[in-house]
Amino acid sequence: MKGARGNQDGGGPGDPGGPAAGALPDPLADPLLDGVELRHLRGFLAVAEERSFTHAAARLRTGQPTLTRAVRALETALGVRLLDRTTRRVALTDAGRRLHADLAPLLPRLTAALRSPAGPALLRLGFTALLPAACRALIDRFEAATGAGVRLVRRDTPLAGLETGESDVAVVRGPVPADAGLRTALLHHEPRVAAVPRTAGPGALARRRVLDWAELAELPLVVNTVTGTTRPELWPAGRRPRLTCTADNVDEWLEAVAAGHGIGVAPEPVAARHPHPGIRYVRLKNAPPVPVHLALPARDAHPLAARFLAQAAPPRP
């Protein structure tokens, strides 16, 4: 009867809810794991191999105080001294040597395991008419730091595909709407140039070398309303150019200007990347520059998007 009652209480070897006789303890349930983080192990391994907190911090691209705290947290969690520290040197204790010998082959295998579930990670970088030259260096640094790839995605939408989920991080020119729900980092500012029709349109503007921003208030304006960065509202109220034609993308905008429907205004890189036989680009003075941001969704962003953003500048809400 005792045996029967014991089985009913869940204590017998045949009970699926209780441990079988002679079963080994679950290693994932070991409370020791609760106090150990991967950054602690990486920090210890770097110091053990460099024999220097200064060199190890440089290798991990972190601050020395942060690294020191990580190693101390590991020692506290394990309850042993792993390193003997003096003002002149760092040496491994016996426990430190044993841990280093076990960890050295394990961490590379762990890295490989974490990367393998879905294959190489891929981040989609959205842009509109052109990708800033500065992004090339950002992509190189990001790929070197993460091992992930970057896929370039052109989308002629106001936020370069972020609003439709077609990009994970995007280049956004012009002011970012406050209600867009984005985190941003400023890349740089781009000067503006005027796009003037060569054979039609107002006056002899195509022969000018420089135009003043204020002069444009008297001229008809062609605007790309989807991805463009120049609207009549940029000029003072009461002295704004007349909007004569709109376009949905940069190609329509170019053809409208070339046809003489008005002048256009665009970021300076457009002149180099989008030449047109019917258009001459003229330098502008006193024109407000165009801010260029990297942006990502403030919520539910791609796990690597923030790391790409950090290559440019610390993100701001």
Are 304 and 256 contained in the same domain? no
pTM of this structure: 0.63
Domain count, the chain: 3
Residue 158 and residue 302 in one domain: yes
Q: Is the same domain home to 304 and 177?
A: yes
Please, what is the angle between helix 53-60 and helix 38-50, to 10°? 130
Q: Hey, how many other C-beta atoms are within 10 angstroms of the C-beta on 162?
A: 25
* HSE-CB for 50 with a 13 A CA cutoff: 16
> Which positions ≥6 away from 123 have C-beta within 8 Å?
142, 148, 149, 150, 151, 168, 169, 302, 304, 305, 308
Buried b (16+ CB within 10 A) or exposed e, 12-25: eeeeeeeeeeeeee
- Do residue 58 and residue 206 come from a single domain? no
Contact 200, 259 (CB under 8 A): yes
Show the domain range for 166: 122-181+298-310
- The CATH number given to whatever domain includes residue 102 is 1.10.10.10
d(CA 287, CA 235): 10
Structure confidence at residue 26 (pLDDT) = 66
Q: Which of 37, 39, 42, 47 is nearest to 92 (CA)?
A: 47
d(CA 292, CA 89) in angstroms, rounded, equals 47
Query: pLDDT tens string for the chain (317 positions)?
Result: 444 444 444 444 445 545 555 555 665 566 667 778 888 999 999 999 889 898 988 888 888 899 999 999 999 989 999 998 877 788 999 999 999 998 888 888 887 777 666 566 899 999 998 899 889 999 999 998 888 999 999 998 989 999 889 999 999 999 898 888 999 999 999 999 999 998 755 557 888 999 999 999 999 999 999 999 999 999 999 899 999 999 999 999 999 999 999 999 999 999 999 999 999 999 999 999 999 999 999 998 998 999 999 888 544 44
Verify that 251 and 279 share a domain, yes or no.
yes
Residue 263 lies in a domain: yes
Rounded CA-CA distance 83/61 in Å is 21
Q: What is the pLDDT of residue 110?
A: 82
Picking from 88, 113, 138, the residue at the C-terminal end of a domain is 113
Same domain? 103 vs 229? no
10 is a domain residue:
no
Domain limit, last residue, from 76, 96, 113: 113
Which residues are within 8 A (CB) of 105 and not within 5 positions of it... i.e. 6 or more apart? Answer: none
Rounded to whole angstroms, the Cα distance separating 183 from 188 reads: 16
User: Cα separations (Å) of 91 from 52, 74, 108, 159, 220?
Assistant: 9, 16, 23, 53, 75
**Has residue 5 been placed in a domain?**
no
* Shared domain check, 274 and 204: yes
Residue 42 placed within a domain: yes
Give 80-83's long-range contacts (Cβ < 8 A, gap of 24+): 82/44, 82/48, 83/44, 83/47, 83/48
pLDDT attached to residue 138: 92
Specify the pLDDT at position 104: 86
Residue 9 is assigned to a structural domain of this protein? no
Residues 147 and 284 in one domain: no
Co-location of 60 and 88 in the same domain = yes
Q: In this structure, are 239 and 304 located in the same domain?
A: no
- In whole angstroms, what is the distance from residue 13 CA to residue 27 CA? 20
Helix (H) or strand (E) run with residue 188 in it: strand 182-190
| Distance between CA atoms of residues 156 and 294, nearest Å | 16
Residues 199 and 163 grouped into a single domain: no
Note whether residue 232 is domain-resident.
Answer: yes
In this structure, what CATH number is given to the domain that contains residue 217? 3.40.190.10
Q: Is there a contact between 81 and 75 (Cβ–Cβ < 8 Å)?
A: yes
Angle, helices 94-115 vs 38-50, to 10°: value is 120
- What is the amino acid identity at position 43? G
196 and 177 within one domain: no
Helix (H) or strand (E) holding 284: strand 279-285
Listed residues 62, 84, 113: the one ending a domain: 113
Decide if 16 is inside a domain.
no
14 belongs to a structural domain: no
